[in-house]
Structure 1
Amino acid sequence: MQALPRSTTSTQTVVVVPPSLALPVIESAFPRQLHPYWPRLQEKTRLWLLENRLMPPAKVREYADGLCYTDLMAGYYTSAPDEVLQAIADYSAWFFVWDDRHDRDIVHGRAGDWRRLRHRLHAALDAPRHHQHHPDPLVAGFADSVLRLYGFLSPAWNQRFARHFHAVIEAYDREFRNRTEGYIPGVEEYLALRRLTFAHWIWTDLLEPSAGCELPDAVRKNPAYRRAALLSQEFAAWYNDLCSLPKEIAGDEVHNLGISLITHRGMTLEEAVDDVRRRVEECIGDFIGAEQDALRFAREIDDGTVRGKELSTAVQTCVGHMRNWFSSVYWFHHESGRYMVDSWDDRSTPPYVTNEAAGEK
């Protein structure tokens, strides 16, 4: 299927979506949005990667723009203040680099390096100001991005973000052990782990600074709001699994919903692909209903007070961003060089990563 997304370049480009991965409902019912700050965002995140030595200069020049990391965030938090979007985009770029380091540490058996990095990230999350000049660029870059994110809302929000990301780090450690041992999680175990490794609650937390309003627990934990937030993240994680399944089977991966279905439910590859696709499509349909419930809830909390109006507007903005996540994730998977495995010289080694052991020994 050919589709014409909103281009992030000066010319319109046609993106070819394989029929097995095409979702007509996304292309028709989820119009793509893009933050007007995007061109500057791309430029500044590229510079941030260089200044923080998170990718070698030659890799940044050749691959950074084509990886579309800034496109993904600019298509998600479309109403965020420029400064907030920049901090989120830099943090997101860091997250992808960290994910690549994690993968390379597994591939090359660098258990000691991973263990040290894990402990340092936990420490940097709790005291980012003390880790901005750490000799490992990944730790220093993380501290810098987290410190900026901590400057937008209250200490309570910062503590919540830290709590959620401590859990993400530990989930990555479980993935490290699973892959090292060749352990394939069961379906339910995998789904729970995936919510952490995909950082569902981190991206949901970041809806609040994007809307310029910290939401009280009674709003964040309202079933209507929480369900819409979860569905938007589940779609992203499962669609990623659908797109990655052939590559990850070829690479002897153990973390993919399709792989768990094949291993623990006895499905064929074709049946597993159909099952994951069905879940993805149901997620979209369920979100459309949940979105209306969440918007109804937003209207209900506008009680005529200044605070009620503020919260109502913020929830509507957050729900709008949840909707954006569907189209942003969808097109990202078909535009980013991160998923163009067939163009790599070595299908087992992404060309934008280095294989050398990184960080301080």
Structure 2
Amino acid sequence: MTDSPIAFHLPFRSGLNPNLDTARAQHRTWADGFALFPDAETTRRYEAWDITRITGHCFPQATTDVLALLTDWMGCNLLCDDELDGPLGHSPVQGARFLDLLVNSVSAPPAQAPPTTNRYARASADVCARLRQRMSPVWYQRYAQHTNAMYAGFLRDMLHRHNGHILDPETLRLQRRDDIGVEPLIDFVEAALGFELPPRFHHTDEVIKLRAAVVDASTLINDAFSLAKERPLNDLHNSILLMEHLQGLDENAALDRVRTEVEELMAVMADTRALLPGLYTTVGLSDLQQKQADQFIDGMGTLLIGQHNAQVDSARYHSSVRVQHHLQTVR
């Protein structure tokens, strides 16, 4: 990993999963099974990203099998996101139908899923079937809600771009909370740690506030690392470029503003975490559940700094290496 001029200070423990090589091989076998790379050039470009390493930064605690599963999810959805940046996203009818297929892959039980030949929907359905086997129905319902919110965010983003809408900063913030896709990653912290916490923990104001802070900080950091590829497109769905456009700031001033916002979010997380011991007692967590809750909160911090380090580390975020678009008939 190299030093970056846009690096952020995040007060969390980082790590890198030691099982990268085996998980990477498992992921490649899985991706080949769904023909996610239709030609050698696409394969080369995708391999330059090293999605397994990105996932390994985010979930250093995961076993090999879980790391491979989470890499399958991340790789599939990054490819779907990129497809929507290409011709598919410029055809709202086709793009919307494609996103319906993805929602069906998450929501429909495997035996009831509508048949499809779309490679990405089939791959997504496989990942979801494996998550159903590994995690409880309660966990899966929460994960499905968050993943489908991401696809809804993809849809709204596609329509905003198609219609030439420039969003105000607050609307963009709410939009990015969905389409950044970090809420499912927070759910995956439990899968990586090998336990589940009860709904009464996840439904509290404190945990909701912590999750929102992680999502908002992830969005700002992603926008900073995406500047190089989004500035030539004048992509005002990047909050930093929107800030420059609306407030007349130059890049350095806008980045300083974003660093300040991230620091404020870190303060929110610290203040909120200080309230958790009392919360654990109030909602009746056992001693073991309290220990697991602390591990989960630590895992959220590791996820956040892991995303940061992955964006410093991966060619996806600091070069022009992109996967080519292969528009499939959506059915």
TM-score w.r.t. length of structure 2: 0.88
Residue 87 (structure 2) pairs with residue 115 (structure 1): no
Residue pair 2:53, 2:310 contacting (<8 A) in 1 also: yes
Q: CA deviation at 1:287?
A: 3.0
**Quick one: which amino acid aligns to residue 337 of structure 1?**
A
What's the counterpart of residue 12 of structure 1? none
Q: CA deviation at 1:329?
A: 1.4
Q: CA deviation at 1:282?
A: 2.5
Q: CA deviation at 1:117?
A: 0.4
User: In the aligned structure 2, how far is the partner of 1:59 from the partner of 1:290?
Assistant: 47
Residue pair 1:179, 1:253 contacting (<8 A) in 2 also: no
User: In the aligned structure 2, how far is the partner of 1:301 from the partner of 1:314?
Assistant: 16
Q: CA deviation at 1:184?
A: 1.5
User: In the aligned structure 2, how far is the partner of 1:177 from the partner of 1:221?
Assistant: 31
Residue pair 1:50, 1:60 contacting (<8 A) in 2 also: no
What's the counterpart of residue 353 of structure 1? 323
What's the counterpart of residue 125 of structure 1? 106
Residue 14 (structure 2) pairs with residue 17 (structure 1): no
Residue pair 1:302, 1:311 contacting (<8 A) in 2 also: no
What's the counterpart of residue 317 of structure 1? 295
**Quick one: which amino acid aligns to residue 233 of structure 1?**
V
User: In the aligned structure 2, how far is the partner of 1:38 from the partner of 1:136?
Assistant: 28
User: In the aligned structure 2, how far is the partner of 1:82 from the partner of 1:292?
Assistant: 33
TM-score w.r.t. length of structure 1: 0.82
User: In the aligned structure 1, how far is the partner of 2:247 from the partner of 2:143?
Assistant: 35
User: In the aligned structure 1, how far is the partner of 2:157 from the partner of 2:259?
Assistant: 24
Runs (5+) with no aligned partner, structure 1: 6-14, 345-350
Residue pair 2:19, 2:64 contacting (<8 A) in 1 also: yes
Residue pair 1:100, 1:353 contacting (<8 A) in 2 also: yes
Residue 133 (structure 2) pairs with residue 151 (structure 1): yes
User: In the aligned structure 1, how far is the partner of 2:28 from the partner of 2:119?
Assistant: 15
Residue pair 1:132, 1:143 contacting (<8 A) in 2 also: no
What's the counterpart of residue 334 of structure 1? 312
Q: CA deviation at 1:160?
A: 2.2
SS in 1 for 2:14: coil
What's the counterpart of residue 74 of structure 1? 56
Q: CA deviation at 1:299?
A: 6.5
Write out per-residue CA displacement over residues 23-59 of structure 1, whole angstroms, 9 at most, x where no aligned residue: 3x34xx5443122222211221122222111123524
Q: In 2 relative to 1, CA 125–302 (structure 1 residues): closer, same or farther, beyond 3 Å?
A: closer
**Quick one: which amino acid aligns to residue 16 of structure 1?**
D
Q: CA deviation at 1:275?
A: 1.6
User: In the aligned structure 1, how far is the partner of 2:258 from the partner of 2:231?
Assistant: 15
**Quick one: which amino acid aligns to residue 223 of structure 1?**
D
Q: CA deviation at 1:261?
A: 2.1
SS in 2 for 1:150: helix
Aligned residue runs from structure 1 range 185-264, under 5 A: 185-264=167-246
Residue pair 1:32, 1:75 contacting (<8 A) in 2 also: yes
Residue pair 1:125, 1:143 contacting (<8 A) in 2 also: yes
Write out per-residue CA displacement over residues 99-146 of structure 1, whole angstroms, 9 at most, x where no aligned residue: 111111366x23332122022122222225255973110110111111
Q: Is 326-335 or 55-64 further displaced after alignment?
A: 55-64
User: In the aligned structure 1, how far is the partner of 2:12 from the partner of 2:47?
Assistant: 24
User: In the aligned structure 2, how far is the partner of 1:31 from the partner of 1:164?
Assistant: 25
**Quick one: which amino acid aligns to residue 323 of structure 2?**
V
Residue pair 2:37, 2:43 contacting (<8 A) in 1 also: no
Query: How many residues are aligned here?
Result: 330
Residue pair 2:36, 2:120 contacting (<8 A) in 1 also: yes
Residue pair 1:232, 1:326 contacting (<8 A) in 2 also: yes
Runs (5+) with no aligned partner, structure 2: none
Q: CA deviation at 1:69?
A: 1.7
User: In the aligned structure 2, how far is the partner of 1:31 from the partner of 1:208?
Assistant: 17
Residue 14 (structure 2) pairs with residue 35 (structure 1): no
Write out per-residue CA displacement over residues 64-102 of structure 1, whole angstroms, 9 at most, x where no aligned residue: 443132222222223334333322121011111111111
Residue pair 1:204, 1:229 contacting (<8 A) in 2 also: yes
Residue 25 (structure 2) pairs with residue 47 (structure 1): no
User: In the aligned structure 1, how far is the partner of 2:55 from the partner of 2:302?
Assistant: 10
Percent identity over the alignment is 21
